[in-house]
Amino acid sequence: MTEKFDLLVIHLREIREVTEMTGSVVEFASTESAYLEMPPIYLNRGVVFKSVGKCSVSLVEVTRDTRLTQDTVKMKRLVGYCGLILAFLLSCTEQAQEQRKAVFSQGTDCTQIKVRSPKASSGVYVIKPPGVKTPFKVYCEMRPDGGWMVFQRRIGEAVSFNRKWAAYKNGFGNLTGDHWLGLKRIFFLTKQKTKKWTMRVDLWDHEGGSAFAEYTNFKLGNEKAAFKLHVGKYRGTAGDAIRGAYPGIDQNGYGFSTSDRDNDGCSPCIFGDIAEMKCSSRRSGGWWYSRCGSASLNGDWHPGGDHIGWASGLYWQTWKTPLYSVKATRMMIKSV
Ligand SMILES: [Ca+2]
C-alpha cells in the first residue's frame, strides 16, 4: 500500500537530508522539522517527532504562486512566502504505516505512558491528547508517583522568556532544556472532562536547597478566557505562592499576561510610591500576574552570585523573598 500526501511545504535555506518522518511531521538532519497538514499547510521549527519507518521522498522545488498539477498534489496559494520553498512528494510503505501506528500510540499523556510502561525512563515522548489533531513532543518526567508532563523548565539563560502572547500560547525553547510547552497545549490537555490534573512546581536555590508546591485540580481556561489559571488544594514545602504571600494577590482564577496582553488587574497597582500598570514590564516574562502576585517563574534567569536584588528574577515569595531569583524551576502536570 502506498500512502500519499498532498503536499508538504517548508521554509529552508538549503536542502537538508530527511532523517525521519511521521504522518504529519518530517525531520531533517538539522534541527528543522515541518508539519504536513492539508489544509492548511503550516510551518514549524524545533519540534521533532520520532521516526516511523523509511519513506521515499522526492523533492520538487517550487516558487511563489506556482501550481503543481500532478494528480496527487494540489498546490495552495503560498501566503507569506520568504526564502526558498520546497515541496516534498512523499510516499510510505505499508510497513512504515504500521510503525507509524506504533509511535502514535505512545499515549495520550505522560501519565498513561508511565502506567503502560512502568519502567519507562524520563525523556521526550510523542503524545496525542484526545481532540488534538497533530501529536506533539513533550518531556515526560517519570517518577515513582507517576508520569509527569513538563510544561516549564528553567536551568539557565540559553532561552529568553521575555516573549509575547503568541510565543507563550504556542510554546518555545528546547524540551530537554529551558522551555515553555505552550498554553494552548496545556489547555487542550486539562480541558478533558474525564481527567483531573495535579500540577507540581519544583524549585532549586543557589545553595543546594530545593522545595516544591503541588496543586490538585489544575486546569487552564481557553484563549478567550486568557488561559485563566485554576488550581485546587495546595501541598508542599515551598508555600502556596499562587494564592499569595498576603491577601489580595491570588493568582488562582487570573488570566495570563504578557507584555502585549494585559490581564493583570493593575490599572495601576500601587506598591509604596510606585504605580504599576503592567506587572510584565518589570518582571519581563508572561505569567498569571494578579496585581502582580507573589509567584513569577518566567522572568529573567540570573546566575548564582548575581541572583539577588532583581525584580525581574524567578521568584516564589512564600519560599524566598521576591528579590531572590532561584537557580532552576520546573512545572509539570500528571493526570489522576
Ligand atoms: Ca494592567
Cell for 265? Answer: 488587574
β pairing state of 269-271 and 55-62 = unpaired
CA of 290 to the centre of ligand 1 (A): 9
Centre of ligand 1 to C-alpha 289, Å, is: 9
Same domain, 65 and 53: yes
Distance 246 CA to ligand 1 centre (A): 20
Q: Which residues surround ligand 1, an ion (CB under 5 A)?
A: 262, 264, 266
Q: How far is the CA of 261 from the centre of ligand 1 (A)?
A: 9
Task: Dig out the grid coordinates for 82 from the structure.
Answer: 520568504
Q: Buried (b) or exposed (e) across 155-188, using 16+ Cβ within 10 A?
A: beeebebbbebebbbbbbbebeebbbbbbbbbbb
- In order, the DSSP letters of 296-309 are E-SS----TTS-BS
Which among 181, 173, 103 is positioned nearest to 140, based on CA atoms?
181
**Helix locations, 46-195, DSSP H:** 94-104, 110-116, 165-170, 183-190
CA–CA distance, 286 with 223 (Å, rounded to integer): 14
Same domain? 230 vs 153: yes
**pLDDT lower than 70: segments of the chain:** 1-105
Query: Per the structure, how many domains does the chain have?
Result: 2
Query: How many whole angstroms from 89 Cα to the centroid of ligand 1?
Result: 49
262 and 119 both lie in a single domain: yes
Alpha carbon of 268 to ligand 1 centroid (Å): 6
What is the distance in A from the centroid of ligand 1 to the CA of 197?
29
Distance 263 CA to ligand 1 centre (A): 6
Domain that holds residue 284: 105-335
Kindly state whether residues 94 and 203 are assigned to the same domain: no
Kindly give the distance from the C-alpha atom of residue 34 to the centroid of ligand 1, in angstroms, as a whole number.
Answer: 37
Strands 234-236 and 210-215: antiparallel
Q: How far, in Å, is the centroid of ligand 1 from the Cα of 279?
A: 7
Residues 187 and 231 both lie in one domain: yes
How far does residue 79's CA lie from ligand 1's centre (Å)? 35
What was the pLDDT predicted at 104? 54
Instruction: Report d(CA 329, CA 211) in Å as an integer.
Output: 10
> Do 254 and 321 have their domain in common?
yes
Domain ends where: 101, 117, 145? 101
CB–CB of 25/104 below 8 Å?
no
Q: How far is ligand 1, taken at its centre, from the CA of residue 302, in Å?
A: 25
pLDDT at position 274? 86
Question: Which among 101, 120, 150 is the end of a domain?
Answer: 101
Q: What is the pLDDT of residue 97?
A: 43
Q: For residue 312, report the distance from its CA to the centre of ligand 1, in Å.
A: 17
Q: Which three cell numbers stand for residue 307?
A: 541572583
pLDDT digits (tens, 9 = 90+) for 224-256: 999 999 999 999 999 999 999 889 999 999 999
Is the same domain home to 157 and 210?
Answer: yes
The Å distance, Cα 298 to ligand 1 centre, comes to 18
CA of 239 relative to ligand 1 center, distance in Å: 26
The answer on 316 and 226 residing in a single domain is: yes
Residues 309 and 241 in one domain: yes
272 CA → ligand 1 middle, Å: 17
Give the list of residues 6+ apart from residue 160 with CB closer than 8 angstroms, or none: none
Looking at residue 18, its pLDDT comes to: 52
Residues 34 and 115 both lie in one domain: no
C-alpha gyration radius of the chain: 22
Shared-domain flag, residues 163 and 209: yes
CATH number at residue 180: 3.90.215.10
Question: How far, in Å, is the centroid of ligand 1 from the Cα of 269?
Answer: 8
Long-range contacts of 192-198 (CB under 8 A, 24+ apart): 192/129, 192/130, 192/131, 195/335, 195/336, 196/335, 196/336, 197/333, 197/334, 197/335, 197/336, 198/333, 198/334, 198/336
| Rounded Cα–Cα distance for residues 184 and 136 (Å) | 12
How far does the centroid of ligand 1 lie from the alpha carbon of residue 254, in Å?
A: 12
In this structure, the answer to whether residues 328 and 269 fall within a common structural domain is yes
